[in-house]
């Protein structure tokens, strides 16, 4: 089987010739990705292209400006250097008053750090929502490039935020949990408004272009201990289920992304109708073993959901090659039977240069997965 066939079989909870190997955000066949162009990643990326099954992360271009809206709201930005970082401060001029956000980009780390969020109060949330909603337009011209580059080495995966994510990320994480738990009616109204935007934008995105797989991000914001399961059921299940139904109506599949402790909400995750789940972190970062996840999602019996993940990035960055081999074998022993499993790290390195230890452990993971993942 080629990688495309292998991944689609696993997503359908079938057993391909071997367990597919994903390196998550090290996407291999998307030449615009940071890692593909950093010299320190060159050896690893070559191994990824030669030996793994790529889920090329790609989204159509859009004219979204703020909070799911294309409305041309006025803003100002200032950028400066502090020590080893670049700081960008933005001011948004909403109809109800100004909001501000500050982002920090640390040298040699490929990720932004939001050190000031747009909203610090419910009044700020109301200011954010005063920006008129204008549906987003999408341009899939670049799809030809990514599909030609990818070939049969994998499939294309787009990423979407759910309404919970859009609401939660307005505030600092701790402040968001207080908002959701103590001002629940106000939070619910915000999530509902975000859902209307999500659905209209998703309809427009799918009308322009449909890829094989859509990753929905955001449910992890409502997992215990951050919010109780009742609020996960309220703020995740109905909204994500509607997104899933729309994506399924276009013939595509859905992967639900949810870090953290999913044990008490796994049945609710299944109720969304998603085809797959990632990254299934093992204890103590998660609260459920891979064996129990595989049993509960029914991929060996009912074939209801494909499982991605369970190999922690911290093992690849800090463990020994023997520990990597043992962990890969253990994952295969409990999850590969019956199909419906894709071995994958729970995150990806963000540092540059890439350490040689991390490089060696990634290659050991890939080679061990090839050895122990055969059916």
Q: 103 and 252: one domain?
A: no
Q: What is the pLDDT of residues 94-144, one digit of tens each?
A: 999 999 999 999 999 989 999 999 999 999 999 999 999 999 999 999 999
Same domain for 294 and 169 = yes
Domain assignment of residue 124, yes or no:
no
pLDDT per residue over 279-295, tens digit each? 999 999 999 999 999 99
Structure confidence at residue 303 (pLDDT): 54
Q: Is residue 155 part of a domain?
A: yes
C-alpha gyration radius of the chain: 21
How many domains, the chain? 2
Residues 6+ apart with CB under 8 A from 210: 250, 251, 252
Q: What are the φ and ψ backbone dihedral angles of 40, each rounded to 5 degrees?
A: -70, -15
Residues 269, 249 contacting (CB under 8 angstroms):
no
- Domain at 365, CATH number: 3.20.20.210
- Domain membership of residue 161 (yes or no) is yes
pLDDT for the residue 88:
98
Mean pLDDT for 21-42 is 86
Q: What is the mean pLDDT of residues 292-312?
A: 84
Q: Do 32 and 82 reside in the same domain of the chain?
A: no
Q: How confident is the model at residue 93 (pLDDT cuts 50, 70, 90)?
A: very high
Report if residue 292 sits inside a domain.
Answer: yes
Q: Cβ distance 332 to 372 under 8 Å?
A: yes
Q: What is the pLDDT of residues 181-224, one digit of tens each?
A: 999 999 999 999 999 999 999 999 999 999 999 999 999 999 99
**CA nearest to 240, candidates 264, 260, 257, 259:** 257
pLDDT of residue 31: 73
Residues 83 and 178 in one domain: no
Mean pLDDT value across the chain: 96
The answer to whether residue 347 sits within a structural domain is yes
Q: For residue 30, what pLDDT is reported?
A: 83
For residue 260, pLDDT beyond 50: yes
Question: Do residues 101 and 158 share a domain?
Answer: no
Give yes or no: residues 192 and 87 share one domain: no
In a domain, 160, yes or no: yes
155 lies in the same domain as 192: yes
Q: In this structure, what token pair is assigned to residue 82?
A: 């502090």
pLDDT recorded at residue 302:
54
> Which range of residues forms the domain containing residue 85?
72-117
For the chain, the three-class secondary structure string (H helix, E strand, C coil) is: CCHHHHHHHHHCCCCCCECCECCCCCCCCCCCCCHHHCHHHHHHHHHHHHHCCEEEECCCEECCCECCECCCCEEEEEEEEECCEEEEEEEEEECCEEEEEEEEEECCECCEEEEECCCCCHHHHHHHHCCCCCCCCEECCCHHHHHHHHCCCEEEEEEEECHHHHHHCCCCHHHHHHHHHHCHHHHHHHHHHHHHHHHHHHHHHHHHCCCCEEEEECHHHHCCCCCCHHHHHHHCHHHHHHHHHHHHHCCCEEEEECCCCCHHHHHHHHHCCCCEEECCCCCCCCCCCHHHHHHHHCCCCCCCCEEEEEECHHHHHHCCHHHHHHHHHHHHHHHCCCCCEEEEECCCCCECCCCHHHHHHHHHHHHHHHHHCEC
End position of a domain, from candidates 86, 117, 148: 117
Asked if the model's pLDDT at residue 300 lies above 70, the reply is no
Does some domain include residue 235? yes
Same domain, 84 and 195: no
Residues 197 and 87 in one domain: no
In angstroms, the CA 313 to CA 349 distance is 7
Using the 3D structure, point to which of 83, 117, 151 is the last residue of a domain. Answer: 117
Separation of alpha carbons 81 and 84, rounded Å: 7
Q: Is residue 290 domain-shared with residue 328, that is, in the same domain?
A: yes
Residue 107 and residue 143 in one domain:
no
Average pLDDT for residues 304-319, to the nearest whole number?
96
163 and 31 in one domain? yes
Pair of tokens at residue 167 = 């609401």
Q: Please state the rounded mean pLDDT for residues 73-80.
A: 98
Provide the whole-model pTM: 0.96
Q: Is residue 180, in this structure, part of any structural domain at all? A: yes
pLDDT (mean) for 334-339: 94
Mean predicted confidence (pLDDT) in 312-335: 98
């Amino acid at each position: 089987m080629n990688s495309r066939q292998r991944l689609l079989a696993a997503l359908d909870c079938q057993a391909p010739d071997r367990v597919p190997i994903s390196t998550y955000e090290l996407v291999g066949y998307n030449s615009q990705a940071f890692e593909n162009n950093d010299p320190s990643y060159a050896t690893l990326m070559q191994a990824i292209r030669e030996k793994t099954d790529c889920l090329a992360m790609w989204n159509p271009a859009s004219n979204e400006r703020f909070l799911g809206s294309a409305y041309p709201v006025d803003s100002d930005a200032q950028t400066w250097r502090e020590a080893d970082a670049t700081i960008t401060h933005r001011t948004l001029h909403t109809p109800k008053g100004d909001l501000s956000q500050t982002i920090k980009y640390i040298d040699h780390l490929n990720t932004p750090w939001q050190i000031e969020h747009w909203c610090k109060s419910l009044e700020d949330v109301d200011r954010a929502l005063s920006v008129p909603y204008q549906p987003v337009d999408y341009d899939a011209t670049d799809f030809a490039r990514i599909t030609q580059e990818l070939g049969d080495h994998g499939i294309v995966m787009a990423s979407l935020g759910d309404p919970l994510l859009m609401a939660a990320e307005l505030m600092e994480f701790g402040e968001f949990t207080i908002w959701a738990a103590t001002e629940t009616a106000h939070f619910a109204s915000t999530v509902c408004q975000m859902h209307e935007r999500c659905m209209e934008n998703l309809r427009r995105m799918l009308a322009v272009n449909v890829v094989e797989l859509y990753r929905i991000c955001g449910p992890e914001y409502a997992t215990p201990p951050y919010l109780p399961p009742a609020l996960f059921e309220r703020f995740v299940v109905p909204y994500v289920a509607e997104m899933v139904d729309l994506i399924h109506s276009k013939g595509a599949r859905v992967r639900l992304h949810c870090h953290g402790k999913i044990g008490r909400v796994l049945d609710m995750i299944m109720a969304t109708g998603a085809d797959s789940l990632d990254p299934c972190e093992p204890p103590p970062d998660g609260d459920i073993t891979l064996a129990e996840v595989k049993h509960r999602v029914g991929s060996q019996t009912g074939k209801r959901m494909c499982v991605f993940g369970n190999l922690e990035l911290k093992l690849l960055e800090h463990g020994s090659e023997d520990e990597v081999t043992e962990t890969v074998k253990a994952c295969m022993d409990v999850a590969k039977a019956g199909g419906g499993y894709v071995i994958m790290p729970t995150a990806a390195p963000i540092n540059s240069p890439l350490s040689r230890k991390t490089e060696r452990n990634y290659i050991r993971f890939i080679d061990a997965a090839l050895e122990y993942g055969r059916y």
